[in-house]
Amino acid sequence: MEYRIEHDSMGEMKVPADRLWAAQTQRSHENFEIGVGIETMPAEIIHAFGYLKKAAAIANHTCKPEKMTDEKLSAITAACDEVLSGKLSGHFPLVVWQTGSGTQSNMNANEVIANRGNEIAGKKLLHPNDDINMSQSSNDTFPTAMHISAVLSLEDKLIPAVDALIETFKRLEAENDDVVKSGRTHLQDATPIKFSQEISGWRSSLERDRELILLAVKPLYELALGGTAVGTGLNTPKGFAETVAKAVADLTGKPFVTAPNKFHALTSKDELVFAHGAVKALAADMMKIANDVRWLASGPRDGLGEITIPENEPGSSIMPGKVNPTQCEAVTMVAVQVMGNDVAVGMAASQGNFELNVFMPVCAYNFLQSVRLLSEAIVSFNKNCAVGIKANREKMHHNLHNSLMLVTALNPYIGYENAAKTAKKAYKENISLKEACVALGFLTEEKFDEVFHPELMV
């Protein structure tokens, strides 16, 4: 491998000649060989750095044009656009397990954008610290990148995935409005319910989760950028914080604003904890929905068998013909991961010491993994399972009329205790509710037929 020599304030470093990073990135790459190639800084964070570095250059050009010249702005903008396109993704090698402020990833962005900008300009025009990091500190850029990436992931990836599944459930509700089935509570038979009503519970849960997520997004619009090292805004020109927030908003199309209190913005991660709580709520509901679907589809002969789901792949290496509810299982595993990540996000957020939180990379890693996994799991579940759900109407009808809890319809006519006696006799003697009720003398056959209509109990 060929190398070139780069230097920083600590001296010279050998850097791979084909990479755009420089000395500080190389030091981190060598000093933190933890999860290399696997647990690297999330792509969403790198993408966010593309936005914020471009916005910072725009703001600096407005606030101190003598330092951020037209030529420099043009080169930085072009390099940042390549970061945003993903063209430079191979030049961001650093792992999550680095300094807790994310300093090395901030410098990674500074070095890559400076070196690529110099290539574009055809000369040594940009310095990583003096130009790309102008009016900034790692302490305000990394939390800014966290908020930008969180908003984009939630609004542009998770919400559309939820919306698509909601639409699927709406269609299934309409298709199954005439299907009455046995309800279940405590995994035991309960009174009847329309299948469409059961599906509406799934849909409504997702709609409420959607509301909670969008509510949680609002505090994430506040950006720490402009606070620099400890929140005082040292080395920023007047108006920089407001100008850079507007630039980020213009570039992303999201209503970002400058955080009113930068001391809070640098040290507290409560907005991310709150937002991840909403993500966890969605995960909990997806766990419930996936479990309902696989219970209802259990069988095909010895389970409930009340619905069928798409058969996507063989389910066993030893049992021929076996097909499993794999999409449901994927969703439930993702839900467990999200719930575990919630602990990590909360613990990381609790580690704000004085003027800075120093658990930011692990907080960002877990937050973004949760949103990414849940988004993709919901899309997969919808495409490969939910859209193909079909009611087994015959099995639902059989189970409904075999349910002892239909006896509840008799309460107004024979009373709770007599109804309980009827159910117990029917179960013990394996006879119908009608046979038990008539045998006990509570109702005549004619009266039983007059009052007993399961389909009207919904």
| Domain annotation for the chain: domains and CATH numbers | 19-134 (1.10.275.10), 140-394 (1.20.200.10), 403-456 (1.10.40.30)
> Could you give the angle at which helices 360-384 and 138-153 cross, rounded to 10 degrees?
10
CA dist., res. 79 & res. 117, Å (int)? 5
Catalytic site residue from 85, 316, 350, 453: 316
Per-residue confidence band for 81, with pLDDT thresholds at 50, 70 and 90: very high
Determine how β-strand 180-185 pairs with β-strand 11-16.
unpaired
Residue 234 neighbours by CB under 8 Å, 6+ apart? 228
Nearest to 194, CA basis, from 211, 179, 184? 179
Nearest to 439, CA basis, from 414, 412, 405? 414
Helical (H) or strand (E) element with 192? strand 188-194
Q: Lowest-confidence range among 4-8, 123-127, 223-227?
A: 4-8
Rg (CA), the chain: 30
Local structure of 310: helix, strand or coil: coil
DSSP H helices in 86-194: 103-121, 138-153, 159-175
* Percent of the chain whose pLDDT exceeds 90: 98
Q: Is residue 398 flagged as an active site residue?
A: no
Catalytic site residue from 186, 200, 298, 398: 186
CA dist., res. 117 & res. 135, Å (int)? 18
pLDDT of residue 43: 98
Q: Tens digits of per-residue pLDDT, 15-53?
A: 999 999 999 999 999 999 999 999 999 999 999 999 999
CA dist., res. 150 & res. 221, Å (int)? 9
pTM equals 0.94
Per-residue confidence band for 1, with pLDDT thresholds at 50, 70 and 90: confident
Residue 157 neighbours by CB under 8 Å, 6+ apart? 371, 372, 375
pLDDT of residue 19: 95
Across the chain, mean pLDDT equals 97
CA dist list (Å): 100 to 235, 258, 421:
23, 23, 66
CA dist., res. 420 & res. 426, Å (int)? 10
pLDDT of residue 432: 94
CA dist., res. 405 & res. 401, Å (int)? 10
Residue 312 neighbours by CB under 8 Å, 6+ apart? 323, 326, 327, 384, 385
Q: Is residue 316 flagged as an active site residue?
A: yes
Q: Tens digits of per-residue pLDDT, 116-169?
A: 999 999 999 999 999 999 999 999 999 999 999 999 999 999 999 999 999 999
CA dist., res. 73 & res. 131, Å (int)? 9
What is the arithmetic mean of pLDDT over 287-316? 96
CA torsion sign, 62 to 65 to 68 to 69? Answer: positive
CA dist., res. 196 & res. 181, Å (int)? 10
The residue type found at 60 is: N
